[in-house]
Amino acid sequence: NALAALGKEDDARETYERVFPILEGEPRCARVDWERHSVHVNIGNTYSRTGNYEKADEHYKVAEKLGNDHMGETGGSEDDGRAMVLCAKRARSIALKREGRLDEAKTLMGEVLKQKVADDAAAAKRKAAEAAEASAAEKEGDTAMEVAA
């Protein structure tokens, strides 16, 4: 948020924390899970930028858990859940780098990139399969119309 951009990390964190009561009682769905996730990542980032990696990591772990939980929840989606997990891990990697823990940061970012490439390839494969299926259904419909005519 604008406060974080101005270096007012404590004020930014307080602003993010005001979102939690708004989300209480909201049903689990992609939009709300992403909101909860984003708030935790952003709070973690404010802690990271002020040199408190342990507090930052607490929030990254919550954000990652939300992603993992989202994959198995009714109304959840595996793609959204995986994206949440990757986002939390990416933020953790940047925080580790900021902490001077470069080897850990590189290892984690490598895992993120490897998973992102795999996820993108799987999504492209699903999209191609769906397009082929739609094309086959369209051809089948055209054939049925020709026979009826």
DSSP 47-79: HHHTT-HHHHHHHHHHHHHHHHHHHHSTT--HH
Confidence of residue 27 (pLDDT cuts 50, 70, 90): confident
Question: Is residue 118 over pLDDT 80?
Answer: yes
Q: Taking residues 69-76, report their average pLDDT.
A: 75
Q: What is the pTM of this model?
A: 0.83
Question: Is residue 85 over pLDDT 80?
Answer: yes
Question: Is residue 146 over pLDDT 80?
Answer: no
Q: Taking residues 97-112, report their average pLDDT.
A: 97
Assess contact for 62 and 17: CB atoms under 8 A.
Answer: no
In one letter, which amino acid is 72?
G
Confidence of residue 11 (pLDDT cuts 50, 70, 90): very high
